[in-house]
């Protein structure tokens, strides 16, 4: 009884100080990432089930389209997301994402011909691209101390969606998985209705009352809310009362530098094979000739990915983003190397009886383990942090558009790489990309941990040193949030 009272008191305090409200808002915003995860993992269960069905003639070419159509339209969605977030608001952009998801899953779930499955994959691909607005929304409602862990809820939600898809695919037919996915569309649409718009977007409307109410919801103090309003309205006055051209906004160093860094990071992410393994998980294990149920192996991998996404949420609040990316890419290279040697050896000596048959599964599990430490989630987190306010929504959508184009290319050409280079040659490509990523993250990637969005913008404008500039003292509103997050989340 006493423990229940103490817990209730702590939870009430957690909610009253505003940190609880930020977490709730981040969960609701990133719930759309569950649908993204389902879309990403869906081809891994769809293709094997269709291949075993006499109703469909599934060739390797058809399989590549079934997998890649889930991402080919992602860039269109990302561009649409940036425009919607800029002119209609981050909250509305997230809600509108649920509409194509709903339509797409209905097309797949009710399909009796392959063309309807194709159409559903295309539409859900658009929705997955549109969901990038959630990262912008969460970055703008968070304090510098809480931003990393709240943004990490996006990869956690996506990993949860992937794991659910693998489990449903083991027990149920592919069409039922699509129909059950409709629930998450409805949840996102309704839950976001109860949250305020991002204050950073409201600033452009110059409605001080709405800005104050939004900050009051998240900070739970009149004084803190007023302080935030004064800080951001003064900045908005400088931004939006000053006439600038699109060239000054989008071609300045504060926009171009993060753009080039992020595009390179996304390119290395895709070349390291993260999404190829994800979209072809079941088929990937078939290529290794592992003597276990391929669907069960994929569930194990999905479970590891989900677990590690939670671990990453705690790590990102304690360690530098750059360090996590270095460890992640180095670990991925180290786990690919023994798998590469193993596969190549038995390609050369194909007549020998295979020893250490479970090595491929162990290597893939640890590869997923290390990818979730940094290289998979952190690029998406940085998209919401790197760009200046004036260009943030448009450029975030544009960069994710490019990143998703890379995903489409890597997923589409994976079967072709297998044919051209062999399985070992494809793994060697992933290994080299992981090694290059280590160097890039170590020497090029700027650090943003515990830095405000304004500080990050100043760094890219050239007003701060990469490693030496120090975050200014926290505002009153940020101090309380820091104390709460350090106690409630990281311990």
User: Please, what is the average pLDDT of the chain?
Assistant: 79
Does the pLDDT at position 466 exceed 50?
A: no
Beta-carbon contacts of 250 under 8 Å, excluding residues fewer than 6 positions away, are 256, 391, 394, 395
What pLDDT is stored for residue 66 in this prediction? 82
Confidence class for position 111, pLDDT limits 50, 70, 90? confident
Does the pLDDT at position 193 exceed 80?
A: yes
The residue ranges of every structural domain in the chain are 2-195+243-488
Question: Who has greater pLDDT, 36 or 457?
Answer: 36
**Which among 55-59, 118-122, 466-470 has the top mean pLDDT?**
118-122
CA distance 216 to 210: 10
Does the pLDDT at position 182 exceed 90?
A: yes
Q: CA-CA-CA-CA torsion for 216, 217, 219, 225, nearest 10 degrees?
A: -20
CA distance 410 to 435: 18
What pLDDT is stored for residue 282 in this prediction? 57
Question: Who has greater pLDDT, 433 or 86?
Answer: 433
Confidence class for position 473, pLDDT limits 50, 70, 90? very low
Does the pLDDT at position 367 exceed 70?
A: yes
Confidence class for position 413, pLDDT limits 50, 70, 90? confident
**Residue 344: closest CA among 416, 429, 425, 435:** 425
Does the pLDDT at position 421 exceed 80?
A: yes
User: In this predicted structure, which of 148-162, 226-240, 388-402 has the lowest mean pLDDT?
Assistant: 226-240
- Kindly state the tokens that stand for 401: 């558009």
The 3-class secondary structure across the chain, one letter per residue, is CHHHHHHHHHHHHHHHCCHHHHHHHHHHHHCHHHHHHHHHHHHHHHHHHHHCCCCCCCCHHHHHHHHHHHHHCHHHHHHHHHHHHHHCCHHHHHHHHHHHHHHHHHHHHCCCCHHHHHHHHHHHHHHHHHCCHHHHHHHHHCCHHHHHHHHCHHHHHHHHHHHHHHHHHHHCCHHHHHHHCHHHHHHHHHHHCCCCCCHHHHHHHCCHHHHHHHHHHHHCCHHHHHHHHHHHHHHHHHHHCCCCCHHHHHCCHHHHHHHHHHHHHHHHHHHCCHHHHHHCHHHHHHHHCCCCCHHHHHHHHHHHHHHHHHHHHHHCCCCCHHHHHHHHHHHHHHHHHHHHHHHHHHHHCCCCCCCCCCHHHHHHHHHHHHHHHCCCCHHHHHHHHHCCHHHHHHHHHHHHHHHHHHHHHHHHHHHHHHHHHHHHHHHHHHHHHHHHHHHHHHHCCCCCCCCCHHHHHHHHCCCCCCCCCCCCCCCHHHHHHHHHHHHHCCC
Does the pLDDT at position 447 exceed 70?
A: yes
CA distance 440 to 379: 13
- For residues 408 and 68, the answer to whether their CB atoms sit within 8 Å is yes
Angle between helices 321-348 and 359-373 (to 10 degrees): 160
Percent of the chain with pLDDT over 90: 22
Q: In which residue are the tokens 């991402």 written?
A: 71
Does the pLDDT at position 291 exceed 80?
A: no
What pLDDT is stored for residue 55 in this prediction? 74
pLDDT digits (tens, 9 = 90+) for 10-67: 555 555 555 778 888 999 999 999 999 998 888 888 888 888 777 777 777 787 788 7
- For residues 160 and 314, the answer to whether their CB atoms sit within 8 Å is no
Using only C-alpha atoms, the chain has a radius of gyration, in whole angstroms, of 23
- For residues 100 and 124, the answer to whether their CB atoms sit within 8 Å is yes
**Which among 21-30, 39-48, 211-220, 450-459 has the top mean pLDDT?**
21-30
User: In this predicted structure, which of 183-197, 370-384, 474-488 has the lowest mean pLDDT?
Assistant: 474-488
- For residues 397 and 383, the answer to whether their CB atoms sit within 8 Å is no
Question: Who has greater pLDDT, 124 or 397?
Answer: 124
- For residues 471 and 455, the answer to whether their CB atoms sit within 8 Å is yes
User: In this predicted structure, which of 157-161, 176-180, 316-320 has the lowest mean pLDDT?
Assistant: 316-320
CA distance 491 to 489: 6
**Residue 148: closest CA among 392, 312, 354, 24:** 312
Beta-carbon contacts of 51 under 8 Å, excluding residues fewer than 6 positions away, are 58, 63
For residues 272-301, b (16+ Cβ closer than 10 Å) or e, as one string?
Answer: bbbbbbbbbbbbbbeebebeeebbebbbbb
Stretch 419-439: mean pLDDT: 91
Kindly report the backbone phi and psi dihedral angles of residue 255, in degrees, each rounded to the nearest multiple of 5, phi listed first.
-105, -45
**Which among 115-119, 214-218, 222-226 has the top mean pLDDT?**
115-119
The 10 Å Cβ neighbour count of residue 248 is: 12
Percent of the chain with pLDDT over 70: 80
User: In this predicted structure, which of 111-125, 206-220, 265-279 has the lowest mean pLDDT?
Assistant: 206-220
CA distance 96 to 39: 17
Angle between helices 182-192 and 19-30 (to 10 degrees): 140
What pLDDT is stored for residue 479 in this prediction? 35
For residues 405-419, b (16+ Cβ closer than 10 Å) or e, as one string?
Answer: bbbbbbbbbbbebbe
- For residues 171 and 295, the answer to whether their CB atoms sit within 8 Å is no
Confidence class for position 485, pLDDT limits 50, 70, 90? very low
Looking at the domain 2-195+243-488, which fold is it? Answer: Growth Hormone; Chain: A; (1.20.1250)
């Amino acid at each position: 009884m006493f423990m229940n009272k103490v817990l209730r008191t702590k939870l009430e305090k957690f909610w009253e100080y505003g940190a609880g409200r930020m977490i709730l808002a981040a969960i609701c915003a990133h719930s759309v990432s569950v649908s993204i995860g389902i879309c990403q993992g869906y081809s891994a269960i769809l293709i094997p089930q269709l291949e075993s069905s006499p109703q469909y003639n599934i060739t390797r070419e058809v399989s590549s389209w079934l997998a890649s159509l889930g991402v080919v339209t992602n860039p269109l969605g990302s561009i649409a997301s940036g425009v919607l977030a800029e002119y209609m608001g981050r909250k509305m952009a997230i809600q509108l994402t649920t509409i194509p998801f709903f339509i797409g899953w209905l097309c797949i779930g009710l399909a009796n011909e392959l063309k309807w499955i194709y159409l559903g994959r295309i539409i859900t691909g658009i929705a997955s691209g549109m969901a990038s607005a959630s990262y912008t929304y969460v970055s703008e409602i968070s304090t510098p101390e809480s931003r990393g862990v709240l943004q990490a809820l996006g990869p956690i939600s996506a990993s949860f969606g992937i794991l659910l898809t693998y489990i449903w695919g083991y027990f149920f037919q592919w069409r039922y998985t699509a129909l059950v996915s409709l629930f998450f569309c409805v949840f996102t649409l309704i839950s976001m209705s109860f949250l305020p718009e991002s204050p950073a977007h409201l600033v452009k409307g110059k409605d001080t009352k709405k800005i104050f109410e939004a900050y009051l919801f998240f900070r739970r103090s009149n004084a803190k809310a007023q302080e935030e309003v004064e800080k951001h309205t003064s900045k908005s006055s400088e931004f939006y009362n000053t006439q600038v051209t699109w060239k000054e906004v989008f071609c300045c160093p504060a926009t171009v530098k993060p753009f080039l860094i992020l595009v390179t990071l996304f390119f290395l992410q895709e070349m390291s094979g993260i999404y190829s393994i994800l979209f072809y998980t079941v088929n990937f294990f078939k290529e290794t000739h592992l003597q276990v149920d391929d669907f069960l192996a994929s569930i194990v991998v999905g479970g590891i990915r989900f677990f590690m996404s939670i671990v990453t949420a705690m790590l990102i609040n304690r360690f530098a983003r750059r360090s996590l990316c270095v460890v992640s890419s180095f670990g991925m290279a180290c786990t690919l190397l023994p798998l590469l040697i193993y596969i190549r050896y038995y390609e050369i000596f194909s007549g020998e009886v295979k020893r250490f048959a479970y090595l491929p599964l162990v290597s893939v599990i640890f590869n997923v383990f290390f990818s979730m430490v940094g290289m998979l989630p952190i690029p998406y987190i940085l998209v919401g942090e790197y760009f200046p306010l004036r260009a943030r929504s448009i450029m975030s959508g544009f960069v994710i558009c490019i990143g998703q184009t890379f995903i489409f290319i890597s997923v589409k050409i994976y079967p072709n790489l297998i044919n051209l280079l062999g399985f070992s040659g494809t793994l060697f490509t992933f290994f080299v990309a992981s090694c290059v990523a280590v160097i890039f993250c170590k020497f090029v990637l700027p650090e943003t941990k515990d830095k405000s969005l304004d500080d990050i913008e100043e760094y890219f404008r050239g007003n701060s040193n990469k490693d030496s500039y120090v975050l200014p003292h926290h505002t009153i509103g940020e101090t309380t949030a820091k104390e709460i997050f350090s106690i409630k989340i990281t311990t």
